[in-house]
A = this chain, B = another copy of it.
């Protein structure tokens, strides 16, 4: 895409009403727009990053047998009354409204109840399980405070997967597969080294649930981590009893701030019993379905990535999530140089590279500042000087290092691949 037609502009000034680094940077770079406190819109750059993250999560969910669907946001009280989660004590979570046709309605903040109800049409026999469904769907939560940018918002997209198994044994196999798929997601988006599977509070059916916590200074949670074992415990449950149970030594642990980037829960029959989701076993006897739920918020993930890869002056995002893989900049006054840059842009696009081309008639300083802010990991510069040598300046912004390359697509693509580029099917031109 040409930057001259990109609908957004960067901003020099830091938004005064934001405290979180991710919101400050993403607003300045033109990725997001604040609609109101705790509510953001995604502009083209932000949406491209979000779509790359979604694609990675989708691939991993498909790899463990997940099937995608999309449930409604609007929720009828009936089904939630059965589980006891429509009650007044949940008033700080629900947004509720009224139907003009009469009756109450809520806006879904999670989907255990409706997915359990829905699956009654499709699960009948032991041959119908195990079965895994997931969605990328917008949730609404009536958060009292919202000050962490896109890491905690009142409206957010969630990837929520629900598993339906015959029994605890069948469930345990999938639960571990999903935990591994989650770690692959965090590795692919650039958070693998700092993300720890973390023991957290459980429920009726398990001693613990598993959180995935990424260590960042802005993290809202506190965890105790064992860096050697790459395991952590949420402060909530970090008692002597817990440590003994899971085999960690108090002296090996570090206390750090972290942000929850995913969680997985064993639900057991907590929802299938009150909502009457059963299957007939091999002996013809009805049995409650054994369930689990598994969440990742793609926008929250982007927020955490920006916290990790951002600085006050800008950011260098991992190739896998940056809105474009390369930022091509044309410098100098010569028309020939500009034409050469434009030809290179077209050639790279034809070879499957997603490039943002700064073709604007602004100063070199402004172009470099925007490039630093927007955070695309590779910078390509065509100037009068490089053009005279028929070269392009290639900068790996993440690992550092500048060099001159021939202006052939093959050479540039192979340099791109060295720094992690892989052509993906682009949803957008």
**Chain A residues with a Cβ under 8 A of chain B:** 5-9, 11, 30, 33, 35-37, 39-44, 46-47, 50, 58, 62, 65, 67-76, 91-92, 95-97, 99-101, 105, 107, 114, 118-119, 121-122, 124, 131, 133, 138, 140, 142-146, 154-155, 425, 427-429
Contacts and interface: CB of A to CB of B under 8 A. Distances in A.
Contacts of A122: 7-9, 30
A81 B36 CA distance: 15
Q: How many copies does the complex hold?
A: 2
A61 to B, nearest CB: 10
Given A9-B121, A97-B96, A133-B7, A74 B33 contact: no
21 contacts: A9-B122, A30-B122, A33-B121, A35-B71, A35-B72, A39-B74, A39-B76, A40-B72, A42-B70, A42-B71, A43-B69, A44-B133, A47-B68, A73-B140, A74-B155, A92-B100, A95-B105, A95-B107, A97-B107, A100-B143, A138-B138
A50 B135 CA distance: 14
Nearest to A424: B425
10 cross-chain pairs, A with B, having the tightest CB-CB distances, nearest first: A36-B76, A41-B71, A425-B425, A95-B97, A42-B70, A100-B142, A35-B72, A39-B74, A39-B72, A92-B100
Contacts of A124: 9
A142 B33 contact: no
A97 B100 contact: no
A277 to B, nearest CB: 13
Contacts of A143: 100-101
A144 B39 CA distance: 28
A154 B74 CA distance: 8
Given A74-B155, A100-B142, 12 more contacts: A6-B67, A33-B118, A39-B76, A43-B69, A44-B68, A44-B69, A47-B69, A50-B70, A92-B100, A97-B142, A101-B143, A101-B144
B70 A35 contact: no
A97 B140 CA distance: 11
Given A33-B121, A72-B155, A429 B41 contact: no
Contacts of A46: 69
Contacts of A114: 35, 41
A65 B71 CA distance: 31
A95 B106 CA distance: 10
A272 to B, nearest CB: 16
A13 to B, nearest CB: 11
A281 to B, nearest CB: 18
Contacts of A92: 100
A429 B114 CA distance: 25
A7 B40 contact: no
A67 B95 contact: no
Nearest to A63: B429
A37 B68 contact: no
Given A36-B74, A74-B39, A145 B101 contact: yes
Given A71-B35, A72-B39, A62 B142 contact: no
A58 B218 CA distance: 37
A320 to B, nearest CB: 17
Nearest to A27: B121
A226 to B, nearest CB: 37
Contacts of A42: 69-71
Contacts of A155: 72-74
Nearest to A44: B67
A357 to B, nearest CB: 15
B35 A75 contact: yes
Contact of A68 (B36, B142, B428): B428
Contacts of A50: 70
- Among A35, A44, A91, A138, find the residue whose CB has the most chain B CB atoms closer than 10 A: A35
Contact of A131 (B7, B65, B73, B99): B7
A41 B118 contact: yes
Contacts of A9: 121-122, 124
